[in-house]
Structure 1
Amino acid sequence: MSVAGTKGPLAEPETVVAPSRWRVAFQQIVSGNAIISVLAVLIAVVVGSIMIAATNEEVQETAGYFFARPGDMIAAVWQAVSGAYAALFRGAIYNFNADDFATGIRPLTETLKFATPLIAAGLGVGLAFRAGLFNIGGQGQMLMAAAAGGYVATQIDMPFPLHLIAAVIAGMVAAALWAGIAGLLKARTGAHEVITTIMLNHIAFYLLAWMLATQGILQAPGSSNPKTAPMPDSAVLPSLLGDSYKLHWGFVVALAAVAFTWWLLERSSLGFRFRAVGENPAAARVAGIDVGKMYFVVMLIAGALIGIAGISQILGTETSGFGGSIDAGIGFDAITVALLGRSSPIGILGAGLLFGAFKTGGFTMQSSQGIPIEIVLVVQSLIVLFIAAPPLVRAMFGLPQPGRPSRKKTRAAKKSQKQEVSA
């Protein structure tokens, strides 16, 4: 007769208890990539709170007599941090101090407007990521889209909506061809896309500067300033919610780009080849996939998506004319958006909305609370830092590391090993 739980040939079989579906779902959540992005944002906000409190004058004053009256400093910290993030909410989502709902919802429309080019450009960067390419040429691709779209808008007369459609297509094609140069060099010569896209950024910047300084190309007629003429009404993206808001139909185009990119990656055979090349180019080549061709094609599509960002800027946001700084750093911010969104179209949509809220609400934080706008930039940078170090985030929250047993299983294994040795 054997005792239950003993080891040996006569031991009774142990009952295996299957984990509940809720436990399995929780394990999938905490071991996935999405939770890392959420926790990275949370940590960055906490660190940002510390910086807000440290730079607040009242907190600094109460810190001088903290041990005499600690409650004063705690209250000052709470007031500084809560006031800052309340201002961020009022500036990015809804202004509770507004007289009516139409005015109170205006910050949300501003957030969506700022998020529009971030979403489109983030999709272009994220799509290239999925194919194993690091596309940091968003700035140059946006500038070429602005140049082509601006030329069609200001130099060619057409009726609405043909004029708008022609300008949008011209911008997307120009950005696609500009990105395709890097893809072609990668496919034919093996030139690293980081180097080529950086060089193409510089070329695009100075090429646009020349166009803006040359009459008959982009410079406004009769002007010596490096700026285009205002965009004609026939080529301007219409307002989405009326003239009282600045949100335009570019946001709808960005949402359509999200849907297209999701279908391309998850439902099309071309997207499957992109992902196969991104996972293992050598294995994809053995499977019969033309890796060089995939590099070229994915850069074309990525450039077209980033071109939507450039077009939305000149035909939706800066309709009074644009200069050489039309990209406004969006090409590089798109890298952060793609990283935070884990190169997933839905994730990039959420990340673009978050960074749009940071940008819009940051102005309110600065004006109403005196918070330096650089604090918002620090929070964004911290998000990238923590996203780039998933093991650090997992260790801080005690989450299981991929490919490693959990702490509970490790302790159980050690305990079982000790029992076997003692027996």
Structure 2
Amino acid sequence: MLFYVHNRFNLKDKGSPDELISATDSMLVTGIIIIALLLPLLLTSIPPIRRRFFELFYYTHHLFILIIIISFVHAGGEAFWVVSIIIYVVNKVLNFLSIQKYKRDKIKVEIVSNNFMKLQFPNRFTKSSLDIVGMGSVAPSQYLYVCCPQLSIFQWHPFDISDSQPPNSPYTTLIISTQGSWTQKLYSLMLESQSIQSDSPNTVVQPNQSNQIPLEFTLWTSRKIATPLSYIFENNVAILIAGGVGISPVLSIIRAHLDNKNEKHKNYHLKYIHVVWMHRSAKQLDLLKDFLNSLDPEDNLDFVSFSLYYTSTCDISSHEKFFTCQNFPNLQIPIEYGRPDIFSVYQTIISYYESNTKIGISAIGSEILTKHAKRMAVKWRLHNIFRFNVGYYKAVL
């Protein structure tokens, strides 16, 4: 039907609505080819298929190159498309020139648990910061793309950068959770490349002797890119919902605020940060503990509050009831069990502030978590549309 409507409009524009197109007409043939190429792109983009067969989704979408070439034959090279392609090519060239390559001896690997790991590699620049208009030089939420040629030379996957390290740290840190097939392969490669300590302090896990994955590896990284979460600093209050290793970019926001809260800039208004973190293992608490222990004990953390939720049903009896850290002995955060009611969380936090307060909300974690948090933010805003200025900031790709 769409094909027929497209042809009718095309013929009408030519002034010959009754003219029939011959089956040998190049426009008809190329149009059919374009539709045939678009079908696998559309089918593999369906969320359940994309999640289960991501590699098929990824490789199939490279058909867009053929689609663009055939589109030029089909309709000619209009100025808009030519300019768009030039911009795209220039961006790809700049990205290619910015690629950094790190061999195994330059990469620090820490297997934190059986489902996530920490990677560190040297910073290209000593200070990792971005100039956000009107907010001075801050280290906002950033991400970069990672490629491992030993797994696939074509696949580049985005990961949030953990800027929770001290200022001017010589390393860029990535906290990676094994949620997909590519990250599971990367985890196996990191595990096999070294002998590591398991969860038990007295047990050493030896590398797998399989020859399927080489012990030597190289990681390629792209330039650092800022996310919309960088603009959370424009608000008076930030509510940050995190799941699992999604706490990493949240800690980056806290670190950036500690470094910039005393500076005055046109659009920098952030005063308070509320963190709601859902975690599934005690090991993940080490991410928060290491961050707090890296701070100066004299730092004032009155601007931030933490709400912690343990969402696993395993070992509840042995799980800690309070979170503590060495640097701040007076800091005791109760750990609740189960998943929080996000709408009630918004209601409880926002009710503390006056109606003219500008509030920014963001969620970092699984797709299910981020969609639910955004939906609840929209619902809360509609219920209080004339009372509060609430905005949602996308923090995932």
TM-score w.r.t. the length of structure 1 is 0.19
Question: Which of structures 1 and 2 has the bigger CA Rg?
Answer: 1
Select the structure that is richer in helix. Answer: 1
* Higher relative contact order (CA closer than 8 Å, sequence separation 6+): 1
Select the structure that is richer in strand. Answer: 2
TM-score w.r.t. the length of structure 2 is 0.20
